[in-house]
Structure 1
């Protein structure tokens, strides 16, 4: 369907578009993992994104990355953005970038960049793929034009089923689960390094519950703190929160009000989250009010941890209830507290569930399977 010219050296140039926050989160890490492992003998990536933090990481893995504002024409109450002048300016810049880099396909790593990407693809007569990480509203599916992409990829069956109920997609849709590196990064430790715990003020005897992710309302960290305060198992149980976000101060005040501030530790954003899974946590929790998939659960499971997650979004696709972990009803702090108490009391159960979580991660969320699936979706359009 495209008028692209197959490169003489057998390599296709693909322009990846990404719009995100300054912190590197799930969609950013998935993009980094993908571009780190793409077969460069087939696909040469070029990236335009709006954040310097992501650009720096991409340059580190030898990907050409350009920081550029991706404008919006979006009607959303107070957050309405009608960046018409910037949109026209960007259209010109993107056109030059596509010509200069002989781009064969545009890959939008979220819905918003597809708004500009759609027109660029049609103007340049090249295909557009859109990778959807969240269940956008019907209005955004139309406004950002990703319903018209030549291929739409969803991160979970939940996201796909939610979206296809809202709009009719013009072309093929597919679910491709995110993948993680279970070989070189996320794997159970050979030995439990107590020195890492000690550097954080934790003892080898502490039973540590943890959540890794943004400190915002949707991640449900307040639910976890509330449940933690209900646990009656002694003073050697700690709660570790790895991440940053707008709710941090409110969460600290909540821990203080509930009388557990000395047992709830905030460590901020960390790049070495694999070390926390391997050497700090005994139990991993994701108490989200909404979650597209739940990448941190997969990572923790791959490291041999039992996982507990809310029964929402794509989380039931990554936790096999009462096998690799527990599922609890959203906002149900009593149910969560009961599940955590059971895991605290039963180290054998923790070990058994962790082993199952490792097996599930390898079978269902393998990084190279993810990369090959994305490569296939790209090359089949060229």
Structure 2
């Protein structure tokens, strides 16, 4: 099989999405297939993908809108590898419309991969395009899209209930994480990396980390308010925020976070890390991993925390509730409840046996259910099913 992967958003650092896509591409090539990639922005790490397939960049699609360049580059990619499948990630208009327009000409199968909850659901805006979106996607699903992959039951429920897609075209495939990514660095090695990044010694100090790009949905402010409460009881705790600004969706948020840290006098306790190439290099040193999102399709970093044997605390929203077993692998808290988050952090730091047990439980559960090997197998099985139909 020959596959074109297209994504209208990619992070500034090579996260789990790029790493998993690289390994999936290599698997397709091992099976004598061909691969091409279409992205909306130039990133330094895309050069590594050239060993796997052809890489095209459509610079004018960073706003996720359809453009002539996206149509031209998709045409070039399809013709170059004689594509059987177009697999679109991060649903915007750029490649979805282009792939729909070209489908009758090239007769490939079209798969859309929903890695987050649709904007028209999370943002609840009154603009016409947000209200019209479900009907538009429903039209595309019935006429052009052969399969909608979702990363959680929560997204599946939303797509079906809001008529984005017929139920028989929705397939749940949980994200996968390579356990080896979390074992490249041990506790001590990860500590060295952290100390270099924040220019502060953290020996024997508890570290609570949150890996999340700067956006309103990730709710970093709840994390900082909780840090303030925890600091009052344990002034040695270090809080790390690891992320980067999104070009269109995170402007100004980092500045707000820095002002909040300043006003609460937390500069000795809370550090922002935006120069970390791989979060997996520092996660093994975390004592607790946190994700405070208001909404989340799944929360891939929760899986990474667990793969590293780190107990987790996450908000009980959509996909996060499918990953965390409350009281077993970590704790679920209500969104925005910083006092509840602080209480859970304080409890785990005081009760090391519970913390260690949760870390062990989470690692075992993540390796069984969210391995990258299983993810690749499930994706390729779906490819074969769609092609056979």
TM-score of Structure 1 vs Structure 2, range by shorter chain: 0.7 to 0.9
Q: CA deviation at 1:295?
A: 0.6
d(CA) in 1 for partners of 2:140, 2:90: 9
Alignment deviations for residues 92-117 of structure 1 (CA, whole Å, 9 cap, x no partner)? 54334322321112111132222221
CA distance 1:36–1:310, change in 2 (3 Å): farther
- Cα deviation per residue 1:155-176 (whole Å; 9 max; x = unaligned)? 1111110111111524521100
Given that 1:16 and 1:47 are in contact with CA atoms closer than 8 Å, whether structure 2 keeps it comes out as yes
Aligned to 1:241: 241
User: Aligned residue for 2:228?
Assistant: 229
Q: 1:105 aligns with which of 52, 65, 85?
A: 85
The CA distance in 2 between the partners of 1:373 and 1:175, in whole Å, is 10
Conserved in 1, the CA contact under 8 Å of 2:37 and 2:54?
Answer: yes
RMSD: 2.5
Structure 2, gaps ≥5 residues long: 121-130, 246-250
* Counterpart in the other structure of 1:139: 132
TM-score by length of 1: 0.86
Deviation string for 1:53-108 (max 9, x for gaps)?
17725535432111125759xxxxxx896x6xx43x64354334322321112111
Question: What is the alpha-carbon distance in structure 1 between the residues aligned to residue 17 and residue 374 of structure 2?
Answer: 17
**Does residue 109 of structure 2 align to residue 127 of structure 1?**
yes
Q: Which residue among 301, 306, 315 is the counterpart of 1:296? A: 301
Report what 2:335 is aligned to: 330
Query: Aligned pair in 2 of structure 1 residues 275, 26: CA closer, same or farther (>3 Å)?
Result: closer
State whether structure 2 residue 140 is matched by structure 1 residue 150.
no
CA contact (8 A) 1:177 1:365 kept: yes
Map 1:173-184 → 2, pairs under 5 A: 173-182=170-179, 184=180
Give the Cα separation in 2 of the matches to 1:269 and 1:157. 33
Contact 1:132 1:154 in 2 (8 A): yes
Whole-angstrom CA distance in 1 between matches of 2:108 and 2:194: 52
Task: Measure the CA separation in 2 of the matches of 1:274 and 1:176.
Answer: 22
Give the corresponding residue for 1:115.
97
What is the SS of the residue equivalent to 1:51? coil
Residue in structure 2 matched with residue 95 of structure 1 by the alignment: 75
Aligned 8 A contact 2:317 2:335 in 1 = yes
Q: CA deviation at 1:152?
A: 0.8
> 2:24 is matched with which residue?
34
Tell me the residue number matched to 1:206. Answer: 205
Distance 1:168 1:326 in 2: 32
Distance in 2 of aligned mates of 1:139 and 1:361: 38
Residue matched to 1:259 = 265
Tell whether the 8 Å contact from 2:20 to 2:372 is kept in structure 1 after alignment: no
The 2-side partners of 1:288 and 1:41 are apart by: 39
Distance 1:197 1:98, change over 3 A: closer
CA shift at 1:241, angstroms? 1.1
* SS of aligned partner of 2:188: coil
Which stretch shifts more, 198-207 or 36-45? 36-45
Distance 2:264 2:61 in 1: 44
Alpha-carbon shift at residue 29 of structure 1 (Å):
4.7
SS in 2 for 1:228: helix
Structure 1 residues 177, 334: CA separation in 2 closer, same or farther (over 3 Å shift)?
A: same
Query: 2:283: which partner in 1?
Result: 277
Aligned-partner Cα distance in 1 for 2:40–2:184: 35
**Residue 5 of structure 2 corresponds to which residue in structure 1?**
16
Which structure's residues are more often helix, by fraction? 2
Structure-2 change in CA distance of 1:266 and 1:110 (3 Å): closer
Equivalent-residue separation in structure 1 for 2:354 and 2:266 (angstroms): 26
Task: Flag the 1:198–1:261 CA change in 2: closer, same or farther, 3 A.
Answer: closer
Q: How does 1:161-172 map to 2 (within 5 A)?
A: 161-167=157-163, 169-170=165-166, 171-172=168-169
* TM-score with structure 2 setting the length: 0.85
> In 2, distance between residues paired with 1:65 and 1:274?
25
Match for 1:192 among 188, 210, 232?
188
Q: How many residue pairs get matched?
A: 359
Aligned to 1:45: 35
Provide the C-alpha distance between the structure 2 equivalents of 1:272 and 1:93, rounded to a whole number of angstroms.
29
Indicate how the Cα distance of structure 1 residues 36 and 357 shifts in structure 2: closer, same or farther if over 3 A, else same.
Answer: farther
